[in-house]
Amino acid sequence: LGYMRGFGNEFSSEDPRCPGSLPEGQNSPQVCPYGLYAEQLSGSAFTCPRPANKRSWLYRILPSVKHKPFTLVPCGDLTENWDEVEPDPNQMRWLPFTVPKSTDKKVDFVAVRSSYHLWCRKQQIPKLVLSCFRCFNNSDGDFLIVPQQGEILVTTEFGKMMVEPNEICVIQQGMRFSVDVFGETRGYILEVYGAHFELPDLGPIGANGLANPRDFLYPVAWYEDRKVPTGYTVINKYQGKLFACQQDFSPFNVVAWHGNYAPYKYNLKNFMVINCVAFDHADPSIFTVLTAKSTKPGVAVADFVIFPPRWGVADHTFRPPYYHRNCMSEFMGLIEGHYEAKEEGFLPGGASLHSIMTPHGPDADCFEKNCTAELQPERVAEETMAFMFESSFSMAVTKWGLQTCQKLDKTYHQCWEPLRSHFNPNWKPSKK
Ligand SMILES: O=C(O)Cc1cc(O)ccc1O
Ligand SMILES: [Fe+2]
């Protein structure tokens, strides 16, 4: 698959089968090349200042408006009712989520919460071939998708992207897409409302570093001129509920597009890691890949943060994460390997949630080891990729997350129980 590069660029793309399909010099010619329809997809208010203004023009075989009415469809475990269970400020950890057997009924999205979804899917089996004629769009917000096991082929109105574990992709509000899997597949989805992801500001870091803009890859135009007399289903998540409508053609009928509102992917291995090179533990904001800013300066609706392989070199320092309580919610997942603060129990495909002001930090084992460890330069998180969805919002966990999934690790709090007091009232500073 071909891609175009550069975060937030103004792209232009034509399916090579139709050279000249992008109108020149204007967006809405009286008649578009190849007899296409022009359709604008707005990702920001028309009047947003230029740096925040997002829209794309799609030149398609039929416009999206040609469809039968939307009707409400069952939402399964997806919920928009945040009061279905009592709030719970405990530290939470989930064992790896089960991938359904191919004999189980098909599962598309399994939600633990609107903002943090987990999905597990098995390869589509031939008898479900009808389900191939289904696509999804989210009218409520943007999805940041983190595959953990199995690659996914994401077909969108803008073209196709293959996304593997250790890559992420972002599908923004309103963009139609479908996902093909090739075996057991599992991952995490962060959904944000009212903001799009941006690269974080770099401040004194300078003009380069962290996730570099040129490493963000955008799909090239690809269309299918496919009639589907049996009906193509468009599923629309709208105000937290799922609605479906039928149309008799493929929605992936965009022959050419231009604009700065498009889905993209990013390989986490391209992240230019910054870390402490003298002493103390830097806050994990240094590992921010993407941020969805709130209107309060410096406060994110959600940050996507990774803990990539790197060198740990800090002198006279307790190197793992510090104990802390945070005014932000911290949801963590593990793509592969081991997380430094918890060698045991936090597993690839599992998750943890440390809610607003819920105390957390290294388990007892990690603490004991690291206060006596000889401090050599060492590789941290080799062959590991943990990540965090950090949000200024307080999270409600759904009934599915607390009960139905049966993955909540009731023993989690025990990892801190062996922590013992080392307090010595007669302690004297050692003579240098
Ligand atoms: O809680 C966690 O494991 C995430 C985290 C990591 C870190 O290095 C510092 C703070 C923090 O919240
Ligand atoms: Fe934390």
360 labelled binding-site residue: yes
Instruction: Tell me how far apart the alpha carbons of residues 91 and 111 are, in angstroms, rounded to a whole number.
Output: 19
Which ligand is closest to the CA of 358, given by its number?
Answer: 2
Give per-residue pLDDT as tens, 392-417: 999 999 998 999 999 999 999 999 99
Segment 293-321 shows an average pLDDT of 97
Ligand 1 centre to CA of 148 (Å) is 20
As a whole-number percent, the residues of the chain with pLDDT over 70 amount to 93
354 labelled binding-site residue: no
Give per-residue pLDDT as tens, 238-258: 999 999 999 999 999 999 999
Phi-psi domain of 205 (left: phi exceeds 0; alpha: psi -120 through 50; beta: other): alpha
Ligand 1 centre to CA of 321 (Å) is 5
Architecture of domain 273-416: Sandwich (2.60)
Task: Identify the active-site residue in 258, 281, 316, 354.
Answer: 281
> Has 354 been annotated as catalytic?
no
Enumerate the domain spans of the chain: 3-84+102-267, 273-416
As a whole-number percent, the residues of the chain with pLDDT over 90 amount to 84
Q: What is the pLDDT of residue 110?
A: 32
Q: Whose CA is nearest to atom 9 of ligand 1?
A: 321
67 labelled binding-site residue: no
Segment 37-48 shows an average pLDDT of 98
The gap between the terminal CA atoms of the chain, to the nearest Å, is: 61
Tokens for 103? 């004999």
Ligand 1 centre to CA of 407 (Å) is 23
Residue among 300, 325, 315, 323 nearest 374 (CA): 315
* 77 in Cβ contact with 271 (< 8 Å): no
Q: What is the pLDDT of residue 120?
A: 57
Beta pairing, strands 134-138 & 227-238 = parallel
Residue among 259, 373, 253 nearest 314 (CA): 373
Tell me the ipTM for this assembly: 0.99
Query: What is the DSSP track for 159-206?
Result: EEEEE-TTEEEEE-TT--EEEEESSSEEEEEEEESS--EEPPP-GGG-
* 159 in Cβ contact with 221 (< 8 Å): yes
User: Average model confidence (pLDDT) for the chain?
Assistant: 92
Segment 299-314 shows an average pLDDT of 97
pLDDT at 124 over 60: no
Tokens for 197? 């992801």
Give per-residue pLDDT as tens, 254-302: 999 999 999 999 999 999 999 999 999 999 999 999 999 999 999 999 9
At the top level of CATH, the class of 3-84+102-267 is mainly beta
Tokens for 306? 């990774």
Confidence of residue 5 (pLDDT cuts 50, 70, 90): very high
**Burial class of residue 244 in the structure, from the number of CB atoms within 10 Å of its CB (0-12 exposed, 13-18 middle, 19+ buried):** middle
Instruction: Please report the atom of ligand 1 found closest to the CA of residue 340.
Output: 3
Q: What is the pLDDT of residue 108?
A: 53
